[in-house]
Amino acid sequence: VSDSLNRKVEKELNFIFPGSIKLRPELGDFLLPELVDSLIVDTLPNKIILETEKFSLISSASSQIRSQLSEDKKITLFTTYHGASYEDSNLPNSFFGDLMFTYMSDFYPRNIDDSDLVDEFVNRFGIKPNKTSIRAFDLVYDLILRIATQNDLYSIGTVGETEYLNNKFNYVPDKGGSYINHGYYLLQHKDYD
């Protein structure tokens, strides 16, 4: 399932999964219930990839797909891009938990309340660090350690993958002499988590 903004990703996924069936949303970002019902089978595990950043499509598609779940019909929902729309408070975690929603993320949502960072942050600023603050700490810590062990910034890719409080880093050379982070977690919703 992909919207018009994700045709390039759809094409790449179709190359990887040539036998897959494309399902396009209707105008208004919803799927036809009869079409969804006809495509989900009870003889095989159903794997659905949802490619959109639109809240309306995420909400309607996950709801319709979830309504097809039964003892006979097993469904797993995937996405290659997990943006802020998937974190909307209007989307119950039970939807994603029931569908074993699986996605890549460079942030692992583990509890770090007992860490020194949280204690020091609260003492200094009076509040707990948010996701961005934790990311900044992990990033700066990683870069300092890489530079200290490699003696220059251009060798940071030779260190390999590192992991800190909630983030993972694995720098790979990119076009133009820059680096891109390829350190990701594969996360899956289970129940309400």
pLDDT tens for residues 128-146? 999 999 999 999 999 888 8
pLDDT at 9: 93
pLDDT at 174: 87
For the chain, what percent of residues have pLDDT higher than 70? 98
Instruction: Look up residue 189 and give its amino acid.
Output: H
In terms of Cβ atoms closer than 10 Å to its own Cβ (0-12, 13-18, 19+), residue 185 is middle
Q: What is the mean pLDDT of the chain?
A: 89
Give 92 or 166, the one with higher predicted confidence. Answer: 166
pLDDT at 171: 87
Please give the structure tokens belonging to residue 165. Answer: 């409080």
- CA-wise closest residue to 101 among 72, 54, 69: 69
Regarding pTM above 0.85, the answer is no
pLDDT at 92: 81
pLDDT at 101: 94
pLDDT at 76: 95
Q: pLDDT band for position 90 (50/70/90)? A: confident
